[in-house]
């Protein structure tokens, strides 16, 4: 379990940075964001930009709710798991609002999963997934319960369903039984337009889709993926639809099959949490299974994705049979996989994080930009090609704590707090510190996971009181 002892008692010491006691206003504002985005039984990531339920968003959001109302945290996860497909697959979008789903892009019509055998039926969903955060989210919620026994049935059901999801990943996404699972769409990474995909996009020409994107009608185009890149994203969905989302056929035809370090590191951490939680709940077969998965994925991550030269983890393109090096935040985030990362590599990751590639030419930028300043594709305002994202910061922060690097963790935490204090609860942020207050926040405003994870960082040191 993640015990409170793993948390540094010496949080941000710098006198120029506010201490935990000063954040009452931020905590209240974070709670207000979550309350405004709550919709009966789940939370939208952002009211305008993302008006449905997203997989990894929901996991992070539940962590925020756990400090305010554990009932809502449980319900968030329950609603998510209700949309599980018969084969164990969990979709990345659940289109709860049917009428909005038709006008949104890409909406449920474009995803084309309605009526597929095994799809939930009562609600439309996408046919791609997202990083498997649920295992560790469930463990953290359970630890925060005042009376966990009272919610045994919920946790038992959720653990079984999450194990079923992992079973699907290992069965259908690991063709060579390596222990590493692949993603078959860039949106499955959660880091939509990462520069690392450029090498894959260069291998084929997608058709030009004549669509009205929703994101660019809400947000400045310069801060979103380009039109050309978007054609690639839609093409992958198109191809998947043509084979009825049949996993074996998609494996044969899709030009995009990637072993992603962030996805697999999250899977390791989720397996570790599932193993501990299943044990506590008396599910010993599930616990043994999750432990075995974790060990295999940890070994494969280190054998195949570690980049000794660059000092972080990279990607493997299964279709092109090549390693894809990348100096980007997802390569550092495997710190979150805890003991799966050997101590010498963890120290290397910390040093890479604190190098000018990520702290900026003058060393004073906000951690952690999604792409290194040194990458030719670096663009401090464009989505996953430079800006800081709070969920990645949270993973790196926790990862640094797991490896006992309290000073580096305190910097990531302080930078996260500062970004929100300076600019507001945005979806992503300019890593450059000199930007004026209010000018460095991009994408959706009042963004749920920014609120949830900031709250989590601010509340973690407090004593958990009695709650529902
Ligand atoms: C964007 C992000 C993705 C997130 C979604 C909803 O597509 O890249 O990670 O899940 O928005 O917030």
Query: In sequence order, what DSSP letters do the residues of 97-158 get, joined into one string?
Result: -HHHHHHSTT-HHHHT-TT-TTS-SSSEE-S------HHHHHHHHHHH-SSGGGGHHHHHHH
427 C-alpha vs ligand 1 centroid, how far in Å? 9
- pLDDT tens digits, residue range 110-143? 999 999 999 999 999 999 999 999 999 999 999 9
**Alpha-carbon gap, residue 334 to 19, rounded angstroms:** 28
449 C-alpha vs ligand 1 centroid, how far in Å? 10
The secondary element (H helix, E strand) that includes residue 38 is strand 38-39
Distant-in-sequence, close-in-space partners of 154: CB < 8 Å, separation ≥ 6? 74, 78
Give the pTM.
0.94
- Note if the bond before 106 is cis, omega within 30 degrees: yes
pLDDT of residue 217: 82
Q: Which residues partner with 428 through β-bridges?
A: 442
By alpha-carbon position, which residue is closest to atom 3 of ligand 1?
Answer: 190
190 C-alpha vs ligand 1 centroid, how far in Å? 6
Angle at which helix 134-144 crosses helix 261-280, to 10 degrees, equals 40
Q: Which atom of ligand 1 is nearest to the CA of 46?
A: 12
- Distance, C-alpha 143 to centroid of its chain: 21
Whether residue 192 lies in the annotated active site: yes
By alpha-carbon position, which residue is closest to atom 2 of ligand 1?
Answer: 190
**Alpha-carbon gap, residue 125 to 316, rounded angstroms:** 28
Give the residue ranges of the chain where pLDDT is below 50.
Answer: 1-18, 463-468
Catalytic residue among 172, 192, 445, 460: 192
Q: Which residues partner with 371 through β-bridges?
A: 328
For the chain, helix (H) and strand (E) counts, in that order, are 18, 12
C-beta separation of 91 from 130 below 8 A: no
CA distances from 362 to 354, 359, 374 (A): 12, 7, 13
**Alpha-carbon gap, residue 425 to 441, rounded angstroms:** 8
The answer to whether the CB of 188 is under 6 A from ligand 1 is no
Q: Which atom of ligand 1 is nearest to the CA of 55?
A: 10
pLDDT of residue 463: 38
24 C-alpha vs ligand 1 centroid, how far in Å? 28
pLDDT of residue 1: 35
- Residue range 25-463 forms a domain whose CATH class is mainly alpha
C-alpha closest to that of 408 among 462, 459, 359, 339: 359
C-beta separation of 398 from 334 below 8 A: no
pLDDT of residue 12: 39
C-beta separation of 259 from 180 below 8 A: yes
Distant-in-sequence, close-in-space partners of 59: CB < 8 Å, separation ≥ 6? 77, 80, 133, 134, 137
Catalytic residue among 215, 272, 307, 427: 427
pLDDT of residue 5: 36
393 C-alpha vs ligand 1 centroid, how far in Å? 15
The answer to whether the CB of 447 is under 6 A from ligand 1 is no
**Alpha-carbon gap, residue 87 to 223, rounded angstroms:** 36
pLDDT of residue 99: 79
The answer to whether the CB of 428 is under 6 A from ligand 1 is no
Both tokens assigned to 30 = 């974070």
Q: Which residues partner with 386 through β-bridges?
A: none
Residue ranges in 313-437 assigned as alpha helix (H):
343-353, 356-359, 390-402, 406-423
The answer to whether the CB of 50 is under 6 A from ligand 1 is yes
């Amino acid at each position: 379990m993640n015990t409170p002892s793993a948390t540094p008692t010496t949080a941000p010491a710098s006198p120029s940075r506010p201490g935990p006691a000063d954040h009452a206003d931020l905590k209240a504002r974070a709670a207000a964001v979550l309350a405004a985005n709550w919709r009966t039984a789940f939370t939208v990531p952002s009211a305008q930009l993302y008006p449905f339920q997203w997989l990894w968003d929901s996991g992070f959001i539940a962590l925020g709710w756990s400090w305010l109302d554990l009932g809502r945290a449980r319900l968030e996860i329950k609603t998510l798991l209700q949309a599980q497909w018969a084969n164990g697959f969990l979709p990345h979008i659940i289109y709860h609002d049917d009428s909005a789903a038709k006008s949104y892009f890409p909406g449920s019509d474009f995803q084309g999963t309605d009526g597929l055998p095994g799809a939930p039926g009562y609600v439309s969903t996408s046919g791609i997934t997202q990083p498997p955060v649920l295992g560790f989210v469930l463990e953290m919620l359970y630890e925060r319960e005042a009376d966990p026994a009272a919610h045994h049935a919920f946790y038992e059901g959720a653990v079984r369903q999450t194990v079923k999801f992992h079973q699907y990943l290992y069965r259908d996404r690991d063709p060579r039984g390596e222990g590493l699972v692949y993603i078959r769409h860039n949106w499955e990474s959660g880091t939509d337009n990462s520069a690392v995909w450029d090498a894959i996009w260069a291998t084929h020409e997608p058709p030009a889709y004549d669509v009205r994107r929703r994101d660019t009608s809400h947000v400045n185009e310069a801060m979103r993926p380009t039109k050309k890149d978007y054609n690639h994203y839609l093409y992958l969905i198109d191809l998947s639809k043509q084979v009825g989302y049949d996993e074996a056929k998609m494996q044969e035809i899709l030009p995009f099959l990637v072993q992603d370090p962030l996805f697999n590191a999250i899977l390791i951490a989720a397996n570790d949490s599932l193993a501990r939680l299943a044990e506590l709940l008396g599910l010993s077969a599930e616990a043994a299974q999750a432990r075995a998965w974790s060990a295999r994925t940890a070994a494969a991550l280190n054998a195949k994705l570690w980049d000794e030269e660059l000092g972080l983890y990279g990607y493997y393109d299964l279709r092109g049979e090549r390693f894809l090096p990348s100096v980007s935040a997802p390569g550092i985030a495997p710190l979150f996989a805890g003991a799966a990362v050997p101590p010498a590599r963890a120290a290397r990751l910390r040093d890479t994080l604190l190098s000018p590639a990520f702290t900026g030419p003058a060393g004073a930028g906000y951690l952690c930009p999604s792409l290194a300043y040194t990458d030719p594709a670096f663009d401090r305002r464009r989505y996953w090609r430079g800006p800081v994202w709070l969920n990645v910061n949270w993973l790196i922060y926790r990862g640094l704590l797991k490896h006992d690097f309290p000073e580096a963790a305190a910097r990531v935490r302080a930078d996260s707090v500062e970004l929100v204090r300076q600019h507001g609860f945005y979806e992503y942020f300019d890593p450059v510190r000199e930007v004026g207050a209010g000018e460095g926040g991009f994408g959706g405003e009042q963004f749920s996971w920014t609120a949830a994870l900031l709250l989590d960082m601010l509340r973690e040191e407090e004593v958990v009181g009695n709650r529902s």
